[in-house]
Amino acid sequence: MIKEIKAIYKKDKKLACEVARVLGYKIKVKADKPNKKEIEQARQFGEDAFLAGKKALPYTCKRLGVLLKNRQVGEGLPLLKAWEKGWNKANIKGKDA
């Protein structure tokens, strides 16, 4: 049964975890590291937050929270840094304009 679950896991992590849960197994899901698209999205979320008048607090951004969901401790750090970079970049642009 474990081999079948592992085969499903390679194709669909969420489905494999649900199957394992129903059967009484526990699977530790390892999230994928952020890709370039996700990092760029996080940076854009930071810029958008500044333009919306929000403070430089990435943990209050719901859209960033979606990207951080199901990640292991430390794996979301590049996303947090990208969000802050976007917020700071927009802040600097705003002061120069």
Ramachandran sector of residue 39 (left: φ over 0; alpha: ψ -120 to 50; beta: rest): alpha
43 and 61 housed in the same domain: yes
Tally of structural domains, the chain = 2
37 and 60 housed in the same domain: yes
53 and 84 housed in the same domain: yes
Q: Residue 2 is part of which domain span?
A: 1-30
**Residues 74, 79, 85, 87, CA torsion sign:** negative
Instruction: For residues 56 and 35, give the distance between their C-alpha atoms in angstroms, rounded to a whole number.
Output: 23
The pLDDT confidence band at residue 78, using thresholds 50, 70 and 90, is very high
Mean pLDDT, rounded, of the chain: 85
46 and 85 housed in the same domain: yes
Q: Is residue 97 over pLDDT 50?
A: no
The pLDDT confidence band at residue 96, using thresholds 50, 70 and 90, is low
50 and 5 housed in the same domain: no
10 and 53 housed in the same domain: no
